[in-house]
């Protein structure tokens, strides 16, 4: 090829680039903004301008630069994959470049995870120097997040779905839910209700389940098959990198259960896949409904207890919040006559038997407690020995609270009881 031809080719290529990337318009808009504002510090201003106007694009560049620099500083250590979750906020353009700073700091934190606090501080200095001049302060503000509001009316009106599953399927889902940090705190009833609401999604080889950047709606558990996880590559060429393959028993997309955020990765079926999905609204409705029902049931129990009859609604709800679930097997002894007690119990499922020992050494049944009955309330007032032994007759579930917790959250029961006694007239 002749020199002239080569030149022409380069020219054409440059021109093509200018047009493709809309460089002209970009510069016009920057100059326009500068002239409109006439900033003292035009360079900082331009940087801010670009950050503000193109949060997504500016962030990617800085991120990858930061990452390179951090690697060259040798601060990267441990597991830097981020695949366990699938939402990465830089995928949506309306979220500002908060992550720039976070990425820098993340590397810091990770590096500190495997070293002492001392080295964390010393690395911190480096990273600050590294990131400060490059990233305008303003671009680092953190955005608030918010879920859609679900009113109590919606909750009251909504019918919970029950989707049929085999026993094996139900067991697998329960295990997945139990092992998920965000769902493991749910009680048995909640886990069951959520499991029942999960619906089946089937995909065949190559089909996209979720797409990076799309709004998140569902959380998924894999029943059967493989799911490949990809993250868009950050270089200018585009394309995406496979970061992980998930399989039966794995789950993904839990951020979608919290609020609407763009997906952080793309998940594609590898072969035939069966998934169980749960959407955010159903999840929230279930959680609200079960939580409110439980709170209501607890405060209904409490209202009927003589010792709490003077309590305000707020105080009853506060007690309800301190109550813990306790389960006992048949024959288990919950408290023993003569021992010091510090817990108060309400039976909410099953039966408990109270016995008292007689002078002749035998013990006699004095009461049977059914749901709504309570025992041990004296323990909230004094640490007198238990007056009877209480044993579970069959499977028994109770709510309970200890004296210290009660005192911390409500103050001494004594003081509350005294409120209803008029002060002496002297």
Q: Which residues are annotated as a binding site for 3',5'-cyclic AMP?
A: 254, 263, 377, 386
Contact between 261 and 255 under an 8 Å Cβ cutoff? The reply is: yes
Q: Name every residue whose Cβ is closer than 8 Å to that of residue 146 and which is 6 or more positions away in sequence.
A: 259
State which residue, 183 or 209, has the beta carbon closest to another protein. 183
Give Dmax (Cα) for the chain. 118
- In angstroms, the Cα distances linking 75 to 63, 135, 202, 233, 265 are 15, 19, 42, 22, 25
DSSP letter (8 states) at residue 217:
-
- Residues 335, 23: Cα–Cα separation, whole Å: 79
CB of 322 to another protein, least distance (A): 5
Residues 167-189, buried b or exposed e (16+ Cβ, 10 A)? eebbebbeebbeebeebeebeee
Nearer to another protein among residue 258 and residue 305 (C-beta): 258
What DSSP state is assigned to residue 132? T
Nearer to another protein, 118 or 358 (CB): 118
126 backbone dihedrals φ, ψ, rounded to 5°: -55, -45
Q: Which is nearer to another protein, 87 or 275 (CB)?
A: 87
| Distance of alpha carbon 207 from alpha carbon 270, whole angstroms | 8
Least separation in angstroms between residue 355's CB and another protein is 31
Nearer to another protein, 33 or 307 (CB): 33
Cβ 394 to another protein shortest distance, Å: 29
Residue number, 139 or 391, with CB nearest to another protein = 139
What pairs with residue 200 in β-bridges? 276
The residue among 25 and 148 lying less far from another protein, judged by its C-beta, is: 148
- Binding-site positions read 254, 263, 377, 386
Residue 286 CB neighbour total at 10 angstroms: 22
Show the 3-state SS of 70-115: HHHHCCCCCCCCCCCCCCCHHHCCCCCCHHHHHHHHHHHHHHHHCC
In the complex, the smallest distance separating the C-beta of residue 401 from another protein, rounded to whole angstroms, is 9
Residue nearer to another protein on the CB measure, 128 or 189: 128
CB of 202 to another protein, least distance (A): 26
Distances (CA, A) of 423 to 307, 415, 418, 419, 426: 19, 13, 9, 9, 9
CA–CA separation, 114 and 315 (whole Å): 45
Residue 166 vs residues 141, 201, 221, 222: alpha-carbon distances, Å = 48, 15, 15, 15
> Measured from the CB of residue 89, what is the shortest distance to another protein in angstroms?
6
In whole angstroms, how close is the CB of 279 to another protein at the nearest point? 14
Least CB distance to another protein at residue 128 (A): 6
């Amino acid at each position: 090829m002749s020199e002239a031809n080569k030149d022409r080719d380069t020219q054409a290529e440059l021109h093509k680039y200018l047009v493709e990337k809309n460089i002209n318009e970009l510069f016009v808009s920057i100059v326009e903004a500068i002239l409109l504002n006439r900033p003292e510090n035009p360079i900082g201003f331009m940087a801010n301008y670009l950050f503000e106007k193109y949060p997504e694009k500016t962030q990617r560049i800085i991120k990858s630069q930061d990452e390179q620099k951090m690697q060259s500083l040798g601060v990267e250590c441990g597991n830097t994959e981020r695949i366990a979750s699938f939402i990465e906020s830089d995928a949506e353009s309306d979220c500002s470049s908060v992550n720039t700073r976070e990425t820098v700091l993340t590397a810091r934190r990770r590096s500190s995870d495997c070293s002492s606090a001392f080295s964390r501080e010393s690395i911190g200095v480096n990273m600050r120097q590294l990131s400060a001049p490059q990233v305008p302060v303003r671009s680092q503000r953190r955005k608030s997040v918010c879920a859609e509001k679900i009113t109590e009316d919606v909750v009251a009106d909504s019918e919970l779905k029950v989707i049929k599953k085999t026993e094996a399927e139900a067991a697998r889902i329960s295990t997945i839910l139990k092992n998920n940090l965000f769902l493991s705190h749910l009680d048995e009833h909640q886990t069951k209700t959520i499991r029942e609401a999960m619906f089946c999604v089937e995909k065949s080889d190559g089909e996209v389940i979720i797409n990076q950047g799309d709004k998140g709606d569902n959380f998924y558990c894999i029943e059967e098959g493989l799911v490949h996880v990809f993250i868009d590559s950050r270089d200018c060429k585009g394309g995406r990198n496979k970061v992980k393959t998930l399989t039966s028993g794995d789950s993904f997309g839990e951020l979608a259960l919290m609020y609407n955020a763009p997906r952080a990765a793309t998940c594609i079926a590898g072969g035939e896949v069966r998934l169980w999905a749960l959407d955010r609204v159903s999840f929230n409705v279930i959680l609200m409904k079960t939580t409110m029902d439980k709170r209501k049931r607890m405060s209904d129990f409490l209202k009927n207890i003589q010792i709490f009859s003077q309590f305000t609604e707020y105080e009853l709800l506060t007690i309800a919040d301190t109550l813990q679930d306790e389960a006992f097997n048949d024959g288990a002894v919950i408290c023993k006559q003569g021992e010091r007690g510090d817990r108060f119990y309400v039976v909410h499922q099953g039966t408990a038997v109270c016995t008292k020992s007689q002078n002749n050494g035998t013990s006699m049944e004095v009461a049977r407690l059914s749901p709504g009955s309570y025992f041990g309330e004296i323990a909230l007032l004094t640490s007198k020995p238990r007056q009877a032994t209480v044993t579970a007759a069959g499977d028994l579930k109770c709510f309970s609270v200890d004296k210290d917790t009660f005192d911390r959250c409500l103050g001494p029961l004594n003081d509350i009881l005294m409120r209803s006694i008029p002060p002496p007239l002297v």
